[in-house]
């Protein structure tokens, strides 16, 4: 066990509650700590471009759709796993910034769609390039085999937890 704060907390619990197997705490504690550190680093990059995590998610979801870079607001909400109310706020901010436009669907004037503007596409391409460079930097301490093993393990665990619902 490495000498880190999670290990020290585990040792304290092992001493105080030897009747419990606290080994999962080492995994969860490190996952939480790592997620917090990585999220902070990633959000800092978004802020350099004037975006929050939610705005990045919307722009990225639109960009990866391909031409004409548009989706219905409800679909965007599902892609980014937020409520429609939260999505409306994100869309308002992005529209005010000139990064997206909302308009009636071409095939059905009743529905609305959100489309990436030219400025939005330019920005998300720049931010996504920086984001991927940043992710490479963040995993640089792991070799290719470690990365592959971690992807496999996390994928299996995620599938198991998602299927338990």
Residue 1 pLDDT greater than 50, yes or no: no
147-162: pLDDT as tens digits: 999 999 999 999 999 9
79-125: pLDDT as tens digits: 887 887 888 899 999 999 999 999 987 666 567 899 999 999 999 99
- 36 and 96 inside one domain: no
- 90 and 144 inside one domain: yes
Q: What is the DSSP string of 91-106?
A: HHHHHHTTSEEEEE-S
- 72 and 117 inside one domain: yes
- 66 and 40 inside one domain: no
Q: What CATH number is attached to the domain comprising 68?
A: 1.10.10.10
* pTM, entire model: 0.85
Contacts of 127 (CB under 8 A, 6+ apart): 45, 46, 49, 51, 56, 59
Rounding to the nearest 10 degrees, give the CA dihedral for residues 90, 114, 81, 59: -70
Q: Which domain holds residue 76?
A: 51-163
Split into its structural domains, the chain has a count of 2
**pLDDT for the residue numbered 110:** 63
**pLDDT for the residue numbered 4:** 85
- 81 and 125 inside one domain: yes
- 33 and 96 inside one domain: no
Which residues is 71 bridged to in the sheet?
114
């Amino acid at each position: 066990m490495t000498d880190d704060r999670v290990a020290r907390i585990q040792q304290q619990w092992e001493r105080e509650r030897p009747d419990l197997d606290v080994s999962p705490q080492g995994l969860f504690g490190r996952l939480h700590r790592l997620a917090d550190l990585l999220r902070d680093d990633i959000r800092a990059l978004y802020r350099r471009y004037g975006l929050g995590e939610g705005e990045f998610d919307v722009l990225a979801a639109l960009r990866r759709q391909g031409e004409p870079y548009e989706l219905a607001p409800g679909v965007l909400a599902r892609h980014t796993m937020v409520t429609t109310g939260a999505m409306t706020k994100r869309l308002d901010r992005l529209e005010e910034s000139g990064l997206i436009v909302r308009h009636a669907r071409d095939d059905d004037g009743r529905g609305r769609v959100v489309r990436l503007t030219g400025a939005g596409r330019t920005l998300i391409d720049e931010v996504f390039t920086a984001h991927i460079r940043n992710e490479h930097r963040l995993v640089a301490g792991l070799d290719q085999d470690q990365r592959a093993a971690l992807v496999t393990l996390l994928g299996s665990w995620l599938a198991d937890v998602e299927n338990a619902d």
